[in-house]
Amino acid sequence: MPESQLHFVELVLVTLVAFVAILAALAQRLKIPYPILMVLGGLVLSFVPIFPNISLRPDFVFLVILPPLLFAAALQTSWREFKYNLVSIAMMAFGLVAFTVAGVAVAAHFFFPGFDWRTGAVLGAVVCTTDAIAVGAIAKRIGMPQYLLDIVEGESLLNDATGLLALEFSVALVVSGTIPSIGHGVFQLLVMVVGGVIAGLFVGWVVRTIQRPLQGSALQTMVSLATPYCAYLLGEGLHASGVLATVACGLYLGRQVSTTYTSEARLDAQAVWNTIDFILNGLVFILIGLQLPAVLPGMRPLDWPRLLTAAASLSLLLIGLRMLWILPGSRFSALIRRRVLGQDMIPLSGRQAIVLGWSGLRGVLTLAAALSLPETTASGAPFPHRDMILFLAFSVILVTLVGQGLTLPWITRTLGVCAATNTGAEERDARRAMTLAAIAEVETLRDTRLEASHQRALELLDQSYKRRLELLQREADQTGASTPSKSEMETFSGIASQVREAERKELARLGEAAEIGDMTLRKLERELDLMDVRSQRG
């Protein structure tokens, strides 16, 4: 690449990162999910004449962007909740995908002139999957109840594989004109699912084995950054699902992080992954908006009434199909979970089903799927309605991400489906169990370490942990009687933040006066930072 061209690419990249920072700050001020503002910002940027047209290549999305984003989402997913909701997640990730593809294939002939059921199946496969990036980035910021969020995120992590398989089959119908047998389809699905999971677990086991003896946070973090690409490439190399391989690897390592990483590595890796996740998310959503110049040329001459009618029809069809599936699907999965698995749970209410149905946001994977469609069929003829499918996919992303994303908080509040899960008792019980284990360990050490200095240290530790246990018990006894209100907790947090700020200023003064060294300053500053983070997370 010539040096001038390289400098141009660097300039464009720096400009996009600057836009991510500016729009993220604006989203915080406006109190709206930042992905929505990123997409709208990308749309506005696409109309700026001096800004270059950036074409989003599907292989770049699948091989570069998708693995770390899926891996980061899987790392943060609770394995306990994922396993508990697996039947409901599978009902959405497999059943709803098939229902959507079939529904669009049947309805395409009526809504879109020139479409037959085969082309409709391609369109359905392109738009059938919700996007893990979009769902996770928006749903967490709107007060969605955790049990619904667990299902939505789990669905978006798994349905990528079923959606891509549906796309492969539907494209084969159009390109070759042959119809694969049901047996072949089931076998291919099993290969993709089982092979992908095995590949991901294998990579996770290898990474866990490698990381345990490593010394140093930087080495462990470096291995972590390479992990999603290894899992994805191995899954694809085995002709299985690279998406499922990445998700399975992330879920496995998420459970092992406590025993694999050092404390410093956990903090550093979390900071690195949070930064990468935020930057890639921001760039992805801006790039979605920037694809407008790549979408419109195929629509010329522009017949806006027809195009907008088709886009609105498909968006309403997708929302209707999802709503139609959610309630009976949730009741059937609840029946299986109660009768077969013995889980004590109840089906979703009508209000909860509406919120879950309105959460079908599409994102970059939908656009990448549309862009990956071949240009021609096996006979050399142009792929039918490829430009129209690309336009409809882009329109669905805008409608669901912006339209549904902006209205989802209002619908959630209006229907009274708000987050009410209280994990305070669970956290307190865990702290109590940890404290009791620490006290027991102190008693064991008293019998083995007889030196006076050790006994004094053990006595101090014993007093400290017993004092902590007393405070935890007092907190448990007072729960419900004097639980501080939300406003009181906010007041406490604000005052505590001001007190820590005074500590920070004094620490800075000591550093400037050279009364303490840089190592001491950084260590104490890190402790204050950790307390700030803990306070912000509640």
Span 329-370, pLDDT tens digits: 888 888 898 888 888 777 788 888 898 888 888 888 888 888
Question: Among residues 68, 487, 532, which one has the least CA distance to residue 281?
Answer: 68
* CA neighbor of 204 nearest in space, from 65, 63, 75, 81: 75
Please compute Rg for the chain using Cα positions: 26
Q: What share of the chain is helix, strand, coil (3-state, %, to 5)?
A: 80, 0, 20
Which 8-state DSSP code applies to residue 483?
A: P
Per-residue pLDDT tens for 425-475? 656 666 677 677 777 777 777 767 556 666 777 777 777 777 777 777 776
Q: Would you state the pLDDT for residue 249?
A: 93
Domain spans of the chain, in order of start: 56-266+307-341+351-414, 422-480, 496-538
Q: State residue 139's pLDDT score.
A: 67
Residue 169: per-residue pLDDT: 84
Distance CA 266, CA 378 (A): 51
- In the 3-class helix/strand/coil scheme, how is 366-433 assigned residue by residue? HHHHHHCCCCECCCCCECCCHHHHHHHHHHHHHHHHHHHHHHHHHHHHHCCCCCCCCCHHHHHHHHHH
Q: How many residues does the chain have?
A: 538
pTM score, whole prediction:
0.79
Report cis status (omega within 30 of 0) of the bond before 384: no
What's the confidence (pLDDT) of residue 495? 66
Q: CA 512 to CA 524: how far, in whole Å?
A: 15
Cβ–Cβ under 8 Å, residues 158 and 89 = yes
Q: Which residue stretches of the chain have pLDDT < 50? A: 481
CATH topology of domain 56-266+307-341+351-414: Na+/H+ antiporter like fold (1.20.1530)
Which whole-number Å values give the CA distances from 114 to 105, 110, 233, 352, 386, in the listed order?
13, 9, 38, 38, 12
Task: Give the span between the Cα atoms of 495 and 84, in whole angstroms.
Answer: 40
First to last CA, the chain: 49
Helices (H), 290-381: 292-295, 304-339, 350-357, 364-371
Nearest residue to 217 (alpha-carbon basis) of 177, 254, 170, 264 = 264
Task: Tell me the C-alpha distance between 235 and 63, whole Å.
Answer: 12
